A and B are shown apart, each in its own frame.
Chain A
Amino acid sequence: MKKLILGTAALALTAGMAFADTVRMGTEGAYAPWNFVNDAGEIDGFERELGDELCKRAGLTCEWVKNDWDSIIPNLVSGNYDTIIAGMSITDERDEVIDFTQPYTPPDPSAYVALSADVDLEGGVVTAQANTIQAAFIAEKGWTLVEFATPEETVAAVRNGEADAVLADKSFLDTVVGDGLVMLERMEAIGGGVGMGLRESDGELRGKFDAAIQSMKDDGSLNELIAKWEVSSQW
């Protein structure tokens, strides 16, 4: 009898462990207001708050992991973390390699920032972060493109004259304008909204996050978060 009780207890314990899933959330931590490292050295921003809320609603324990943008997809695929939540636009190209949840921000135009408003984009040098929809867009246009590994470096390149303009998400550029940098009138409608990236074999987890995003859309809390962090237009 004692053995039986012990056995059941052990079973219950192991079962409990299997349920207490830890989902590792991969993000870049260098793209305010979406995700950045705050003064305390923790990941903060719109996606931090959104991700924590989604995990709460889906009943998951989540752990945040920082990863370089360039290797963010390979590390997801090889299983170092379970989701990408890093302001990643949903594109067909990425969709071939990983899966996306439904978008949590609507598709928004990308904007340019330059030192002066009358910069010549076609004839000049435009910079964008490597492996982004913006970089792909400029390359497709056939303009001169200079890529950098981090968003910070693209803005620095405009400041020191290495590039004439930077193309990026408007919400990110909103945080850098001023102090000599101006936003151009021209916008580009690229990208299909921002979603969470998951492994293609992780259909169950994707379903959970999809449902959580839907519930946040339905009760308006997602719009509140978007408004709070000024990341995009609302649903």
Chain B
Amino acid sequence: MFSYCTDPSQLEGLTWLSCYLTTGKHAGLYVSVFTVLLLLAVTAPTALVFGFAGASAARSRIAPLRWLGKSYTAIVRGVPDIAFFLFFVIALDQGFEWLRHQVKCPDWTDPIRQGNDFVVCDAAKLPLSTAPQWIHESYAFVLAVLTFAIVFGAFAANVLYGGMRAVPRAQLETAEAYGMTPRQTFWRILVPQMWIYALPGLSNLWMVLIKATPLLFLLGIEDIVYWARELGGTKNAKFTDYPHGDWRIWYFLFLLVFYLAFTRVSEIVLERLTVRLSRGQATAAGEKLRKEVQA
């Protein structure tokens, strides 16, 4: 990185550290921080969509839709996250490849399952084995987002379902009295008011999601915990210009600070969101806000 970094063994103190912290390997750590943040930024809204769809389905008047919504939350919430991550992602990936295989290689005669092997034609590989590594990594990332969204969507569905049921019945009755259709009642009265009841549960989920990101490594994505372990491990002078002992404790300390800071920021944001959503609500917090405005 810096011109003086050519022979780190001659350097000391901060100069050495500035070289050490800017190696290509450390860039991996910094990139992974963004990977984690990006994952959260994409997964949270996606999971919310899954949750909203699940909750809406679960309270639908159409029976098969209701069964679908209820079994989604029941099954996904019941399976341990790790089992889900290990099994589901491989199954999902193979499912995609199987579908592509059926479309792209109809003439293929060999069996797809050969003993332990899962063999599809080259054109059906996802991504193609000729694709550059970054496409493979993006694909793995998309699979990760999808898996996280399905898992956390199931929990969110239950939270939102509860939120929908917590909206005072009088509100919906009034809407009906005004002649609103069930659809209008749902979108104009129920949905805007349910968030305040769902927020405590959703904020819990968000916190759990932040802490669940190290599961990424199970999906073959190099997250910050992987890099912290890799960078912190003992480094022999034979294989690196920056030999050091077991420094994992310092890297994990960095992770601790990172996660604590991140959850603290989340708490502050969620706090503000609660105040904002309480406005005009028939809850104790909403009542308090009304009094403050009057005073």
Q: A65 at the A/B interface (Cβ < 8 Å)?
A: yes
B117 close to A41 (CB less than 8 A):
no
Number of A interface residues in the complex (CB < 8 A): 46
B119 close to A199 (CB less than 8 A):
yes
A77 close to B236 (CB less than 8 A):
no
Interface flags for B1-37 (1: CB within 8 Å of A; 0: not) read 0000000000000000000000111111000000000
B220 close to A175 (CB less than 8 A):
no
- Choose the segment among B148-156, B202-210, B241-249 that binds chain A (4+ C-beta atoms closer than 8 Å): B241-249
Number of B interface residues in the complex (CB < 8 A): 42
Interface flags for A13-36 (1: CB within 8 Å of B; 0: not) read 000011011111000011011001
Cross-chain contact of B23 among A30, A41, A98 (Cβ < 8 A): A41
Q: Which chain B residue shows the least CB distance to A68?
A: B217
Q: A57 at the A/B interface (Cβ < 8 Å)?
A: no
A156-B246 contact, Cβ under 8 Å, with A74-B90, A77-B116, A97-B116 = yes
Residues from chain A with Cβ under 8 Å of B116 in the complex: 77, 97-98, 200
Residues from chain B with Cβ under 8 Å of A32 in the complex: 236, 238-239
CA distance A38 to B236 in the complex (A): 11
Interface flags for A40-71 (1: CB within 8 Å of B; 0: not) read 11101100000000000000000101111001
- Choose the segment among B54-62, B125-133, B254-262, B279-287 that binds chain A (4+ C-beta atoms closer than 8 Å): B125-133
B220 close to A17 (CB less than 8 A):
no
- Choose the segment among A1-9, A78-86, A121-129 that binds chain B (4+ C-beta atoms closer than 8 Å): A78-86
Selected A-B contacts with CB under 8 Å, 8 pairs? A30-B230, A37-B25, A40-B23, A41-B26, A77-B116, A179-B245, A199-B119, A201-B115
- Which A residues are closer than 8 A to B by beta carbons? 17-18, 20-24, 29-30, 32-33, 36-42, 44-45, 63, 65-68, 71, 74-75, 77-80, 82, 97-98, 150, 152, 155-156, 159, 175-176, 179, 199-201
- Which B residues are closer than 8 A to A by beta carbons? 23-28, 86, 90, 93-94, 97, 114-120, 122, 125, 129-130, 132-133, 136, 217-218, 220, 222, 229-230, 233-234, 236, 238-242, 245-246, 248
Contacts beyond the supplied A17-B130, A39-B23, A77-B116: 18 A-B pairs with Cβ under 8 Å: A18-B122, A32-B239, A33-B239, A38-B239, A39-B25, A39-B240, A39-B241, A41-B27, A45-B239, A63-B133, A71-B86, A77-B117, A79-B119, A159-B246, A175-B236, A199-B117, A200-B117, A201-B119
